[in-house]
Structure 1
Amino acid sequence: MGRWLRSIRLLIVGAALAVSVLVAVAMYWATTGVFERTVRQSAVDMSASLADGTFNAMYQIMRQGWSRAQLDEFLKTIRAQSNDSSARIELYRGSKVIALFGQIEQPDPDALVLSAFATGKTQTQMHNGMIRYDRPLIAEAQCLRCHTNAKVGNVLGVLSIAQSVGQITTKAHNELVSKLLIIMPIPLLAALMIALLLGRRMGRSIARLKNSISYLDRVEDLAHIRFSDAHTGFSELDDVLIEVDGLTDKIRHLAVDRNLLEFEIHLLERFVITSDVVRDWRRYVRDLLKEINTVQTVHGVFTAFAVGDRPANVELFWFDTINETVAASMSQRVKLIVGETLGQVATDFIPRQHSLDPSGRPTLENARQLDLRTKEITMDNPSIHGLVGLILPNTQNQSQVERLLVESILSTMLNVVGSVRAIEKHTEDLEFYATRDPLTQMYNQRMFWSLLDYEMDRAQRHGYSFGLFVIDIDDFKVVNDSYGHTFGDTFLCKVSECLHDALRTGDILARYGGDEFTAILPEAGEKECIMVADRLLARIRNLSMKTPDGHSVGVSLSIGIGIGPTHTDSARGLFSIADAQMYRAKLAGKNQFALPNPDEPLADLHDKPIEDQDILEALTEEQPPRILFQPIFAIGDASVEPLENLLLERVGMEVLAQLNIGDRWVMARDFLGMVERRGQAENFDRQLMKALICTQVATHCNGLIFVNISPRTVRAKSFLADIAHLMDTVGMARSRLVFELNERESLADLNLFDRFIEELHGFDFKFAIDQTTPGHWIFQHLRRHTVDYVKINVDWLTNRSQIARDRAFIDCLLGLARALSVTIIAQEIETAEQLSAARAAGISWVQGALFAEEMPLAELGSSDDEPTTETDTVL
């Protein structure tokens, strides 16, 4: 059945056959129905006529007063006529007639006759090819003369006529069927001829369509499929073929070849940038050029990328063999395009040309037959302006699909090569900043150590000496805190430029950290190092910078010098020597350099560097730190002169801690930064407080105890409560404990710090601000918090005569402290000049090596209530 529905010819023949049969059946049904009704009606009409005639004849006889013999004769005549014709007539008497005139010979009345008697209406019936017509004989007025027992309207009798019509209808049916069987093949034959004609014409068109499709291998081949000139003989089929032409045109513009689609998918895979692509992107371009030529003819590719301020790097890759003329011509065209697109002078760069393996195609000899298609990209971070281009055959009949393919190839190359160049730039920046200080662009500490190790090995291998400078800017903290970090950064950059200009060509300058610089002087002995150090100091003295408020700030340096491998064959040991000499220069008055004393043992000049792992192991073992104390004194009478007669009273001690690391005691300030970075600050502070708060300290130390804690310990919720409980246990008054916090670090989280200060005073502890600077931060503290003590470095006081702004801050701070009952403590006093500056500022509490060095509890002694003269031990 499905095959009939799929074939037009079979469908037409089958439809014609079905229609013929249906028409014949319909004609037969309609004809036989009409014929039967006509024959039946004709038989009824004929029976009615026969009944009328019979009744009229009988009525005429009855009017003449017929006898019984006449009645019998009449009935015989009627029955004889019935035998001679197709109609059979019977007369049935009613009960009233039988009552008057008696029975006659008649058949038994059947149901139809009885119905006629009962209803008084004519009865008609068709049964088994017989028509029955039974008419009742109704009594009229004139009939009552003879039928005295009847009334008008009574049924006196029934005249029944039976007529056979079966033979007539059967003959008619047979003739009709024979005629229809003759007529039926005619539409079937006509349909078959039409199907053959239509199939032949459609077959030619389909064969042409199949033949055209058989040559269809690519989307471009759709252009050769044309049916507008085909004439099938049917306008409808011609319209269909014209629409097929339109469809092929649309498909040709919309569809993509499978191989092109697969190539596009492969291009998308090329977006994955692997380490191999980053390492050798030129190989990537060469491989991509080979793959492109499997679906599209591309003679060559060029890339041009300008990174930062550098000239564009132009690379030209050829897939086909070219002669020198074509190479020169295309190179010039590429240079012009790159120059116009990237805004650079074409003579600033020369395209680097690459040749692939021979493609097997003819050598390119005419540059005019080549066309360039380009695409550019611009990136801001990093700053990259790039261009890629394809060298294509110069053709005017390029399809839309080919144009899209070229665009996709350009986009892929641009994205991948551009991304690779951006990654290269980021990698260069990472490599640069991994070894450089981002502010001064000098080598950083990490690179410095690598270079120092390398120089030490090279000096030992080649037998020469070299110098190492550790350079520190004097009083930079004062400048930075007074004028802010922005000016401080500018200050550092200017100093670094001056240092770079003063060093020799080939010397290595690095920023070690903060305001500390290092310099490696290859192939330099003591004499050369002294010459360079003198030049550095002379240059830096002439450097002066304008501050934001219009003042001028000068610069001085403290330089420590070490000679390697003369002083030591260890890079870190040499740094320790130079670093110690730098501090020696500072103690000697700054603005100078220092070399190791030839008479001093070199073993005392440096120690083994402290490693982070050693510190962590020491903390993990939870060994108690060793506690040192530095006394804090109150000057009894500020008017006493000379200084040798000063009356000093010990009012407290600052706690300093040491930790046993690598079989030597190291001050906490040397490793505290690492401890904080590793998250061990709270642990160390708890160990320190546990070692400090004991019966011995409570007995021998009657004054205040100043302890510097990490700002990270402030976040510990139970720290203060645990310390209070510990002090109560040993019987030490809480009011004697003063917690110190660095000024700048305490401002990191003001809300948290507010809660800490409130809780601290709630436990009756005291609070001190350490490392106070001449800026507005200290005034923030004094405004927000209850501060008991403020500790300032004496350098701030000795330099105040140089900077009027600092002097105003100092005077304001001292006045505010007196108004708020805050005690000012001058610390790190090492010279009589510094003590005089503190006294001149009105500061009566002092601390420093001039009065007492750090010492253990056993050497401290007890404090008396009466003032004591410290002349012998102080000066």
Structure 2
Amino acid sequence: MNRFVPSNLVVLRRDVLRAASALLEEQVRASQAFSAIAKTLHRVHGELANSLAELAGRADADLTVRQLARRCQTLRTTLALVEQHYQADVVRQRDALRALLAAFNESSKVLAQTLVEKDLLDRHRMVLERVVLSYERVINWLPFIEEVLKEFHAIFPFDLFFVAFAEKHGLTAHLFYPGRPTAAQRSDLEPQLVRELLARLNQPFDAAVDLAVHYLDWTPWFGIATAQCYQLLTEKVPDHRSGLAGILGVGFGTAQPLSAQEQTVIRSLLAILVIVVGSSRALSDTLRELEYFSMHDPLTHLYNRRHFLHMLEYEIGRSERHQHAFSLIMIDLDDFKEINDTYGHPAGDLALTELANVLQAQVRQGDLACRIGGDEFILLLPETPLEGAKALARKLCDRLRAHRYFYQGTSFHVTCSLGIVSYPQDGKSVHELLAHADLAAYEAKRRGKDEICAYDDLKTRRTGGALTRDSLAEQRSEVEALREALAERRIVPFFQPIVDMASGQVVAFEVLARLIPSVGDPIPAGRFITVIEKYGLGRELDRQIIAAALAALRDFPGEKPTLFLNLSVQEIQNRNVLGFAARLCHQWGLDPGRIVFELLERHAVDDLEKLRQFIRQLRKRGFRFALDDFGSGYNSLHYLRELELDFVKIDGAFVRGMQTSRIDEALVRNLSNLCADLGMQTVAEFVENDEMFAMLQKMGITHAQGYYLGLPLPRLPVVESLPRTSSP
């Protein structure tokens, strides 16, 4: 019986067929009875006719006897005709009933198929509704498959389900049992199943097999009695890259083969599972590739810069705990651009790939070889002191110098410049070690290329007690001096007054960073801020200045003035400077509305969306925002439209030029009107004399600052002690 036909339709069909069969049987019995009666009539009639014929043949027979004999003959003919017509009617009725039964049977089959298809569509829809792939389901695809199989089992109660893939190491298979077979049943069934899967996947019979068994426990019984009493129905799981990737299917115990309709139903359900398994496998492979290439260079397959930085941080911590030294060798290819220009980029790619192979062949197990730039490689050598790194560098330099690269009938050589640093003597942080390794490689290249230079050599080469370095080395020296100044808290805030134009009173201060040298006058930020930002020291500088400025505001007597704090551009990249300032304000009871963070206009263009997010977070915490040096960029008006600004600080170049340039005067005047219309306050910078102050006041500028109004001071002064302008 087809297990997918609705039971009520099966009962109706059975009852109708039974009734029709009973009618046929009744008709046959009636026909047989009539035939028996007719036969008896024929026999009796024959006997009577024979007797009458004998009597009629006598000479003494009268007229009546002869007439009876003729009538008996007529009756015999009539009986034959009646029987003939009756039998013909019986045949016609039987054929008509059989045709009716055949038509009913066909109609019931069509109806059953229609009902089955509708029911299957509904069930398919319910199954497909569960087939929603996500990252979690791709990574944990087995529980997801079990969910879908439960829906499958409700439609077709299979006895086992399997998924098998041909891997490099052999066969990987997962076997799902809705019931729980005995150990004997498993030992009988599974070896034969594995043989069939190996054959269908074109694998050798002795291939390694990794078989995982999953018990679903949806039913207490197991329908496969022996390995000879089950059937399999399978579907391929394709892989667009390698053809047949795997196979999945169901097994069931049955005494009779499945009907064509049953096979169609099951295959349609298996097709859904092919989508699930195939998609999960494809996505899983893609995720594995993404994970691989998140740590590896796609050309050379060495580790990339991201993974190198992670491992370098780990090695610094490990070496610090165990008091080990380790070394880095920076490898910079010499004149690599000429290789690309002369032979083409494919030749350059070949050189990079072969160089990576040379590096891998020369390093020890546990060393890390990475490609960190276009033509830059680096080696991380754990537990390797400087002398050991120098020995490896000499070996590498000789090996790379001797290596010949062949490309399309030509050959060429590539040399490298190597820079060496060692932890902890040449640096104790990621930034220090990389910067010093880069400096050493730069020096090796400067010496004539195909050279080796250790950073330690740069530190010990002296002439008259001073380091003989080029401009890059001098900049590195300045970096170290700035690191030292930050560590010793010698970069401090100075406070320059900002005057309210309407009242002439000092209402705010801009916080300016100053470096206090061992000897001499304080150094303004303009002379060192570029180096600070280039070498990633902006975060530490911002926090030190913010903490010192807010501490001064905390200690300020009476009503607190507003502070304008400059931020480095790196702080808008989610470094949580706002959280740091908010915690200090909460800890010291300061009003965040008294704090205005300002950023140079030229830095706003780097990432406008990031800046929007930063300003939204800033406002949530109660702070305000100013755009500094406004008008110096090419998209100034764009910023007024796109950003919610509290203050616009007009570039001092326009302010200084007002007295001699009608253009500068018109720009400042119109910018003041525009900001007023937009509800933004304005601050004019570099106010240098009384006439300039009066012009700005007449234009409606709301605030001003400059050396004429007050010099930057090392302490936050009380307003009454500040010098006043002659005509505020």
Letter in 1 for 2:245: H
Distance in structure 1 (CA, Å) of the matches to 2:602 and 2:331: 26
Determine which of 135, 146, 163 is the counterpart of 1:275: 135
In the TM superposition, what is the alpha-carbon distance from 1:281 to its structure 2 partner? 1.4
Letter in 2 for 1:529: A
Equivalent residue runs for 1:43-82 within 5 Å: none
The residue aligned with 1:452 is 312
Q: Does 1:231 align with 2:23?
A: yes
Distance in structure 2 (CA, Å) of the matches to 1:222 and 1:264: 27
Determine which of 144, 152, 177 is the counterpart of 1:318: 177
Identity of aligned residues (%): 26
Distance in structure 1 (CA, Å) of the matches to 2:477 and 2:251: 70
In the TM superposition, what is the alpha-carbon distance from 1:662 to its structure 2 partner? 5.0
Distance in structure 1 (CA, Å) of the matches to 2:481 and 2:304: 19
Distance in structure 2 (CA, Å) of the matches to 1:376 and 1:677: 57
The residue aligned with 1:557 is 416
In the TM superposition, what is the alpha-carbon distance from 1:264 to its structure 2 partner? 2.1
Q: Does 1:286 align with 2:146?
A: yes
Query: Helix, strand or coil: the match of 1:293?
Result: helix
Deviations 1:221-252 (A, max 9, x none): 56635154253999588865553233113323
Equivalent residue runs for 1:342-381 within 5 Å: 342-346=201-205, 347-357=207-217, 359-362=219-222, 364-381=224-241
Does the 8 Å CA contact 1:573/1:609 hold for their aligned counterparts?
no
Q: Does 1:264 align with 2:128?
A: no
Distance in structure 2 (CA, Å) of the matches to 1:384 and 1:531: 51
In the TM superposition, what is the alpha-carbon distance from 1:423 to its structure 2 partner? 0.5
In the TM superposition, what is the alpha-carbon distance from 1:490 to its structure 2 partner? 0.7
Does the 8 Å CA contact 2:237/2:277 hold for their aligned counterparts?
no
Equivalent residue runs for 1:46-125 within 5 Å: none
Q: Does 1:327 align with 2:186?
A: yes
Report how many aligned residue pairs link the two structures.
433
Does the 8 Å CA contact 2:192/2:227 hold for their aligned counterparts?
no
Letter in 1 for 2:193: V
In the TM superposition, what is the alpha-carbon distance from 1:362 to its structure 2 partner? 5.0
Distance in structure 2 (CA, Å) of the matches to 1:380 and 1:676: 50
The residue aligned with 1:386 is 246
Does the 8 Å CA contact 1:459/1:466 hold for their aligned counterparts?
yes
Does the 8 Å CA contact 2:224/2:252 hold for their aligned counterparts?
no
The residue aligned with 2:271 is 411
The residue aligned with 2:324 is 464
Deviations 1:623-650 (A, max 9, x none): xxxxxxxxxxxxxxxxxxxxxxxxxxxx
Determine which of 411, 416, 428 is the counterpart of 1:569: 428
CA RMSD of aligned residues (A): 4.6
In the TM superposition, what is the alpha-carbon distance from 1:358 to its structure 2 partner? 6.3
Determine which of 165, 177, 197 is the counterpart of 1:338: 197
Letter in 2 for 1:587: R
Query: Helix, strand or coil: the match of 1:255?
Result: helix
Distance in structure 2 (CA, Å) of the matches to 1:606 and 1:335: 71
Q: Kindly tell me: are residues 383 and 584 of structure 1, through their superposed partners in 2, closer, same or farther at Cα, counting changes over 3 Å?
A: farther
Q: Does 1:300 align with 2:160?
A: yes
Q: Does 1:526 align with 2:316?
A: no
Does the 8 Å CA contact 1:317/1:356 hold for their aligned counterparts?
yes
Distance in structure 2 (CA, Å) of the matches to 1:553 and 1:511: 21
Query: Helix, strand or coil: the match of 2:371?
Result: strand
Q: Kindly tell me: are residues 274 and 376 of structure 1, through their superposed partners in 2, closer, same or farther at Cα, counting changes over 3 Å?
A: same
The residue aligned with 1:101 is none
Equivalent residue runs for 1:823-838 within 5 Å: none
Equivalent residue runs for 1:191-270 within 5 Å: 217=7, 221=11, 224=14, 225-226=16-17, 227-231=19-23, 240=100, 242-256=102-116, 260-270=120-130
Does the 8 Å CA contact 1:222/1:249 hold for their aligned counterparts?
no
Does the 8 Å CA contact 1:299/1:318 hold for their aligned counterparts?
yes
Between 1:475-484 and 1:601-610, the stretch displaced more is: 601-610
Distance in structure 2 (CA, Å) of the matches to 1:505 and 1:218: 73
Between 1:536-545 and 1:243-252, the stretch displaced more is: 243-252
Query: Helix, strand or coil: the match of 1:367?
Result: coil
Between 1:233-242 and 1:410-419, the stretch displaced more is: 233-242
Does the 8 Å CA contact 2:127/2:152 hold for their aligned counterparts?
no
In the TM superposition, what is the alpha-carbon distance from 1:606 to its structure 2 partner? 8.8
Letter in 2 for 1:379: D
Does the 8 Å CA contact 2:189/2:226 hold for their aligned counterparts?
no
Distance in structure 1 (CA, Å) of the matches to 2:296 and 2:149: 39
Does the 8 Å CA contact 1:297/1:393 hold for their aligned counterparts?
no
Does the 8 Å CA contact 2:145/2:276 hold for their aligned counterparts?
no
Does the 8 Å CA contact 1:445/1:512 hold for their aligned counterparts?
yes
Deviations 1:195-236 (A, max 9, x none): xxxxxxxxxxxxxxxxxxxx9725555663515425399958
Query: Helix, strand or coil: the match of 1:353?
Result: strand
The residue aligned with 1:150 is none
Query: Helix, strand or coil: the match of 1:266?
Result: helix
Query: Helix, strand or coil: the match of 1:350?
Result: strand
Letter in 2 for 1:343: N
Query: Helix, strand or coil: the match of 1:368?
Result: coil
The residue aligned with 1:794 is none
Distance in structure 1 (CA, Å) of the matches to 2:257 and 2:479: 82
Does the 8 Å CA contact 1:453/1:571 hold for their aligned counterparts?
yes
The residue aligned with 2:441 is 582
Distance in structure 2 (CA, Å) of the matches to 1:678 and 1:467: 39
In the TM superposition, what is the alpha-carbon distance from 1:335 to its structure 2 partner? 2.6
Determine which of 493, 503, 506 is the counterpart of 2:366: 506
The residue aligned with 1:517 is 377
In the TM superposition, what is the alpha-carbon distance from 1:546 to its structure 2 partner? 2.5
Distance in structure 1 (CA, Å) of the matches to 2:169 and 2:304: 25
Does the 8 Å CA contact 2:420/2:454 hold for their aligned counterparts?
yes
Letter in 1 for 2:452: F
Distance in structure 2 (CA, Å) of the matches to 1:222 and 1:676: 85
Letter in 1 for 2:326: F
Determine which of 470, 474, 484 is the counterpart of 2:334: 474
In the TM superposition, what is the alpha-carbon distance from 1:514 to its structure 2 partner? 0.9
Q: Kindly tell me: are residues 608 and 493 of structure 1, through their superposed partners in 2, closer, same or farther at Cα, counting changes over 3 Å?
A: farther
Deviations 1:42-95 (A, max 9, x none): xxxxxxxxxxxxxxxxxxxxxxxxxxxxxxxxxxxxxxxxxxxxxxxxxxxxxx
TM-score by length of 2: 0.52
Q: Kindly tell me: are residues 545 and 397 of structure 1, through their superposed partners in 2, closer, same or farther at Cα, counting changes over 3 Å?
A: closer
Letter in 1 for 2:175: L
Distance in structure 1 (CA, Å) of the matches to 2:429 and 2:201: 52
Query: Helix, strand or coil: the match of 1:333?
Result: helix
Query: Helix, strand or coil: the match of 2:126?
Result: helix
Q: Kindly tell me: are residues 609 and 512 of structure 1, through their superposed partners in 2, closer, same or farther at Cα, counting changes over 3 Å?
A: farther
Deviations 1:536-566 (A, max 9, x none): 112212210134452x311221111111233
Distance in structure 2 (CA, Å) of the matches to 1:429 and 1:562: 33
Does the 8 Å CA contact 2:169/2:208 hold for their aligned counterparts?
no
Query: Helix, strand or coil: the match of 1:303?
Result: strand
Equivalent residue runs for 1:176-187 within 5 Å: none
Between 1:509-518 and 1:259-268, the stretch displaced more is: 259-268
Does the 8 Å CA contact 2:6/2:115 hold for their aligned counterparts?
no
Structure 2 residue runs of 5 or longer lacking an equivalent are 28-91, 461-466, 468-472, 483-525, 536-572, 574-600, 608-628, 634-659, 662-728
Query: Helix, strand or coil: the match of 1:298?
Result: coil
Q: Kindly tell me: are residues 581 and 368 of structure 1, through their superposed partners in 2, closer, same or farther at Cα, counting changes over 3 Å?
A: same
In the TM superposition, what is the alpha-carbon distance from 1:256 to its structure 2 partner? 0.4
In the TM superposition, what is the alpha-carbon distance from 1:592 to its structure 2 partner? 2.5
In the TM superposition, what is the alpha-carbon distance from 1:512 to its structure 2 partner? 0.8
In the TM superposition, what is the alpha-carbon distance from 1:427 to its structure 2 partner? 0.2
Q: Does 1:543 align with 2:403?
A: yes
Equivalent residue runs for 1:752-767 within 5 Å: none
In the TM superposition, what is the alpha-carbon distance from 1:385 to its structure 2 partner? 0.9
In the TM superposition, what is the alpha-carbon distance from 1:590 to its structure 2 partner? 1.9
The residue aligned with 2:691 is none
The residue aligned with 1:439 is 299
Letter in 2 for 1:500: Q
Letter in 2 for 1:572: H
Does the 8 Å CA contact 2:224/2:253 hold for their aligned counterparts?
no
